[in-house]
Amino acid sequence: MEHEFKVDSPIVIDRILSRNLEKCSEQLRNEILPDTTPVPFFGDFENATIVSVGINPSRYEFPAVKRRLCHLSDLALPEDYYRNGLTGMTEGQATKISKSLVQYFESSNNGEPTYLKKWFDLAETAINGAGATYFKNNLKSNILKIACHVDIFPWSTERYGELNKKVKQEFHKENLKFFVSYLENNLITELIILGSTVKSIIEKTFKDNEIKAIFVAEEFPGPNSTFELGRMLLGDKSLKYFLLSKGPSAHLSQPEKQNIHQAFSDWVKKSRSSL
């Protein structure tokens, strides 16, 4: 069955309402940061054809000031709503959250953009190689495609790396149905996978799922970071993917990451033109 991914479509609203959390462990629910909302997308997911993929939203996406996204407190909901509530949010409130996701890269505070620049400027460099941009104002003759960003799971946690293995696995599976549905969307043609850990999680999470995710790699260049071109087979759909092994979250200096992301972007552009 095809799903329409719009700000107010049922599959998106149900994802934000997240009543399935009632079936999850208390430990998982307690790891969700207070006063945060799920982030199934960053940017114009309604029209994106290229999608970058990460692990989960940074805790820095929900600052106390210069808001980027809709907080629970903005909706007069308890800050621990997703930990203990799940019965008070209306579809109208969920739609407000969804609209904030679409406008993520266009939002500003006193004229200053509010998106998480340190991370997404690097990701923007990476996706530019595929002729895509997160920013609608950047659409021009050589960048013709809208991209959005999705994470394997949509919840902000204190420190993902410090979660125990069982909770990590539960987080990945909690969003699996939604994640698969979006990638199966007919609009999506290419993935930019930002980090080897991201690819590894996808492979492990899909291992026992009804719909398998199989990566068929075609090329492995280097040297500072592995670049990989291939196809991700997702049920009946084949998605072209480009992997950058050291994404924006890599433990490197910002200049080092900028150089790697630019090299990756140049490589993607060259690879796409030769296909």
Amino acid 68: pLDDT? 87
| CATH assignment of 10-274, among 1.10.3720.10, 3.40.470.10, 3.40.190.80, 3.40.50.300 | 3.40.470.10
Over residues 46-99, the pLDDT tens digits come to: 999 999 999 999 999 998 888 889 999 999 999 999 988 788 899 999 999 999
Which secondary-structure segment (H or E) carries 115? none
Parse the chain into domains and list their residue ranges.
10-274
The reply to whether omega before 223 is within 30° of 0 (cis) is yes
Amino acid 2: pLDDT? 57
The rounded distance, in Å, linking the Cα atoms of 106 and 8 is 19
Phi, psi angle pair for 264, to nearest 5°: -65, -45
Please answer whether residues 262 and 126 qualify as being in contact, where contact means their C-beta atoms are separated by less than 8 angstroms: no
Over residues 210-254, the pLDDT tens digits come to: 556 676 766 666 557 889 898 888 878 889 999 999 999 999 999
Specify the higher pLDDT residue, 3 or 100.
Answer: 100
Query: Burial, 5: exposed, middle or buried (Cβ in 10 Å; 0-12, 13-18, 19+)?
Result: buried
Please answer whether residues 149 and 134 qualify as being in contact, where contact means their C-beta atoms are separated by less than 8 angstroms: yes
Strands of the sheet containing 213-219, edge to edge, are: 132-133, 145-151, 50-54, 190-194, 237-244, 227-234, 213-219
Helix, strand or coil, per DSSP, at residue 82: helix
- pLDDT category, 207, cuts 50, 70, 90? confident
Which secondary-structure segment (H or E) carries 245? none
